[in-house]
């Protein structure tokens, strides 16, 4: 007899195990069996909750994006000026919760999978649209519209590029230098 209320806990354990497994491997070369073992459940149960590794990766990225979204909303709510809104987005994207090796590895796997799987591509478009919108919430008050759009694209490209670059390095991510690099770019673009 299944225990009531266990499904959300097991799903979350599988998502956390997916992040850890991808982080350790640095790629998607992990199996459902490996992930299930890390989560402390059977492979059969993992397949019961998620039809396969693609579904589990999609759920994992939705989880990561949901956390990023919650943190972004809180940061934007607390930002008092348009310029502070832009900096708040950098702080969120390079926060200790997001800019850590296992999450970075999951993002890299996500970027790769988005090239072949339409559900992943759709989720990536949602992420890109939200990031653009959040950046524009500050930039549109600081720059003419066309310049704000170009600057938001530049900042988004730097964020994504720094995640990819970080995924290819060893050691702990350096959020402060990543933020400083993007802030330097912004100093060239903002009056």
The conformation of residue 100, written as its DSSP 8-state character, comes to S
More confident residue, 26 or 56: 56
Q: What is the mean pLDDT of the chain?
A: 92
Identify the pLDDT of residue 1: 42
Please say whether the beta carbons of 20 and 106 come within 8 A: no
Is the pLDDT reported for residue 8 higher than 50? yes
Mean pLDDT (whole number) for 109-117: 90
Closest CA to 191 of 89, 84, 83: 83
pLDDT at site 3? 63
Cα four-point dihedral sign 17, 21, 24, 28:
negative
Question: Which domains, from first to last, does the chain contain?
Answer: 6-189 (1.10.357.10)
- The predicted pLDDT at position 155 comes to 98
Of residues 65, 63, 71, 107, the one with CA closest to residue 88? 71
Running DSSP on this structure, what letter comes out for residue 3? P
pLDDT attached to residue 4: 60
pLDDT confidence bin for 166, thresholds 50/70/90: confident
- Give DSSP secondary structure letters for 101-140: HHHHHHHHHHHHHHTT-HHHHHHHHHHHHHHHHHHHHHHT
Q: In this predicted structure, what is the pLDDT of residue 6?
A: 78
For 93-108, the pLDDT digits (tens) are: 999 999 999 999 999 9
Give pTM, 2 decimals. 0.89
More confident residue, 45 or 139: 139
Residue 160 has pLDDT above 50, yes or no: yes
Average pLDDT over residues 40-62: 92
């Amino acid at each position: 007899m299944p225990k009531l209320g266990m499904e959300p806990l097991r799903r979350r354990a599988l998502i956390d195990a997916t992040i850890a497994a991808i982080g350790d491997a640095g790629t998607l070369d992990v199996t459902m069996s490996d992930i299930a073992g890390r989560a402390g459940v059977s492979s059969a149960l993992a397949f019961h909750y998620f039809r396969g590794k693609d579904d589990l990766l999609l759920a994992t990225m939705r989880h990561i994006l949901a956390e990023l979204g919650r943190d972004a909303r809180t940061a934007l709510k607390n930002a008092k000026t348009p310029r502070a809104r832009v900096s708040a987005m950098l702080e969120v994207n390079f926060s200790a919760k997001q800019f850590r090796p296992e999450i970075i590895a999951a993002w890299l796997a996500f970027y790769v999978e988005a090239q072949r799987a339409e559900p992943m591509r759709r989720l990536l478009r949602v992420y890109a649209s939200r990031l653009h919108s959040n950046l524009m919430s500050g930039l549109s008050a600081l720059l003419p519209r066309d310049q704000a759009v170009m600057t938001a694209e530049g900042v988004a490209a730097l964020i994504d590029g720094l995640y990819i670059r970080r995924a290819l390095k060893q050691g702990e991510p350096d959020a402060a230098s990543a933020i400083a690099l993007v802030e330097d770019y912004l100093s060239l673009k903002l009056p």
